[in-house]
Amino acid sequence: MPVGTSIKSIRARQVYTERGHPGIEAMVITESGARGVAMCTAGTSVGEHEIPFVYDGGTKWRGKGVQKAVDIVNEIIAPALKGMDAANQREVDDAMLNLGGPNAKARLGGNGTAAVSAAVLKAGAASLGIPLYQHIGGVNACVMPVAGVIAVLGALRYGGGKRAGSKPTYSLMCYGFDTFSEASYAAWDIGTEFNQVMLKKFDLHPRLDFGIFVPPGKVEHDRDLWELMAGLIVKMGYEGKVGIQVDCAATCYYEKDKDKYVGIFSPGEKSKEDLFDLYKSMVKDYPFVIVEDPLEENDYEGHAALTRELGIQLVGDDLFTTNTKRVEQGIAVGACNTVLLKVNQIGTISEAFDMVQLAYRNGYGVMPCSSRGEGADIADYTVGLGTGNLREGATGPTGNRFLEIEVELGSRARFLGKKGLKP
């Protein structure tokens, strides 16, 4: 192995996260002194097919403490990986996946393996003295993505649903520009103006940089929000340059015993046929460019029919959970045309990147998402994998990292614009 890339130490600790519950952070240090630090946390909407995490249980941290996962990393994973080559990601991940025999992740916990795997990736890049995106994608890592800014974080507006509480989420995606920096400015511009509109109309304030949480009773139907976003796009001169993305998280509203979606987009129950009609009108009448998780997480045939019907980027998150087997099922019937990438859904970098290659070989797009603790590293994943788009990421720390990468790439940087979106 290259001098200095062997793993000298691995340490984990419990940390606070933006999600409000604890997460696990891993630090990998190589013999050269290079280090990689990565964090893993659970999301708001967790699909039933995601790799299980290890939690402490009990009453402390409301049962979501991860000290057990920390101990597993420090006492079991770290000794097993010491001395391995941090620059050989697959070898390290394979060692974890086979630690103690089959089904290692079930024993070790997906939160621990994901944090260690991502930290190894960063340590490998640092020990080689190259940017993370180059470590991932080599000389082909030059595509800057279509990105956006969160407009509406969502709310429990209409009741119903086993996990409803922060969905649907709406973002404004900026694609009709020549460079990422131009698209990033447009995202800041329209995001700032949207916040002002929501403040004047509803007396609502954004959380952090962007994103309005809409409390119950403020709107009668999400169509009121579609009208505001669409009107603002036109008013600000961004028609044909900025579109709407929605994460429906439909499983959050699906009640299996009724076979109905309760409280999604407006009060009352909706059948799958009702949702089909609603989605068709959304795409026809408003500038939607991406729809994510429009149906419950096991309805492959429904997603396939909707993909054929809508003709825009249709993303599977809870449907696929970054899992090659589930993506293969989707490919077989044509369910969605894009896979959401969340490393922490599957447990290791190698498995997640295998899923990416499977998607590409079959004409599917990939949309990275940083909701599980990846932070600004999602920018390097996006450029390294050449995905062409990602969830949000146009501003804030992730946007800053993209702007830095754009400068580093110089004339090699390529912004695909509308071609960065499916279909």
Q: Which CATH number does the domain 7-129 belong to among 3.30.390.10, 1.10.1070.11, 3.40.228.10, 3.40.50.300? A: 3.30.390.10
Give, in words, the CATH class of 137-420: alpha beta
Burial (Cβ within 10 Å: 0-12, 13-18, ≥19) of residue 254:
buried
Predicted local confidence at residue 164, as pLDDT = 45
Tokens of 288: 């939607």
Predicted local confidence at residue 117, as pLDDT = 97
Predicted local confidence at residue 273, as pLDDT = 97
Predicted local confidence at residue 213, as pLDDT = 84
In the chain, where are the structural domains located?
A: 7-129, 137-420
Kindly report the backbone phi and psi dihedral angles of residue 75, in degrees, each rounded to the nearest multiple of 5, phi listed first: -100, -25
Predicted local confidence at residue 209, as pLDDT = 58
Q: Could you check whether 7-129 and 137-420 share the same CATH topology?
A: no
Contacts for 48-52: CB closer than 8 Å, 24+ residues apart = 48/297, 48/318, 49/297, 49/318, 49/321, 49/323, 49/326, 50/110, 50/321, 50/345, 50/346, 51/105, 51/110, 51/114, 51/344, 51/345, 51/346, 51/347, 52/105, 52/106, 52/109, 52/110
Predicted local confidence at residue 391, as pLDDT = 95
Predicted local confidence at residue 47, as pLDDT = 61
Mean pLDDT by 10 residues, the chain (423 residues): 88 91 96 96 70 92 95 98 98 95 89 96 97 97 97 72 67 98 98 94 77 84 96 98 96 93 93 98 98 97 98 96 96 98 91 97 96 88 98 96 98 97 94
CB 282 within 8 A of CB 211: no
pTM value > 0.85: yes
Nearest to 184 by CA among 173, 194, 169, 195: 173
